[in-house]
């Protein structure tokens, strides 16, 4: 399933707190992204069609919940990036960031700790 960047903003809102009504989603993501109510409702509709979210009737409104776990989405997107740009390999990605001086001291320390943990 392919979730667009805009759709992922709605998904993030639902992953943080669900179920949510469309009004709550609009309140959370509309303003910060300068999106109209109609824009957010289109994004919700697209996610429903993709079966990324579910809608449950609650009186005269609907409550929306994610059907895709955030971890599964992140895994899929991460693997897609690695496959497209780095032949599925992680080391060239890290090299790319290190050569551009884009790794902070904190990033380097976290990577060293991870490598040490994996090595054990």
In this structure, are residues 33 and 9 in contact, taking their beta carbons and an 8 Å threshold?
A: yes
Give the CATH number, domain containing residue 37: 1.10.10.10
Average pLDDT, rounded, for the chain: 94
Q: What is the pLDDT of residue 73?
A: 94
Query: Are residues 61 and 99 both part of a single domain?
Result: no
**Which DSSP string corresponds to 27-43?**
IIIIHHHT--HHHHHHH
Query: Are residues 52 and 19 both part of a single domain?
Result: yes
Q: For 17-46, write each residue's pLDDT tens digit.
A: 999 999 999 999 999 999 999 999 999 999
Q: What is the pLDDT of residue 103?
A: 85
Q: How many domains does the chain have?
A: 2
Is pLDDT at 94 greater than 90 in this prediction? no
* 64 three-state secondary structure: strand
Query: Are residues 12 and 51 both part of a single domain?
Result: yes
């Amino acid at each position: 399933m392919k979730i667009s960047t805009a759709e992922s903003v709605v998904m993030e809102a639902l992953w943080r707190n669900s179920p949510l009504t469309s009004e709550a989603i609009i309140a959370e993501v509309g303003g910060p992204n300068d999106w109209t109510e109609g824009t957010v409702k289109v994004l919700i509709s697209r996610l429903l069609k993709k079966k990324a979210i579910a809608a449950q009737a609650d009186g005269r409104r609907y409550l929306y919940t994610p059907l895709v776990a955030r971890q599964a989405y992140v895994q899929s997107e991460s693997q897609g990036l690695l496959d497209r740009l780095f032949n599925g390999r992680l080391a060239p990605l890290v090299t790319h960031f290190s050569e551009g001086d884009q790794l902070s001291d904190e990033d380097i320390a976290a990577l060293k700790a991870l490598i040490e943990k994996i090595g054990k």
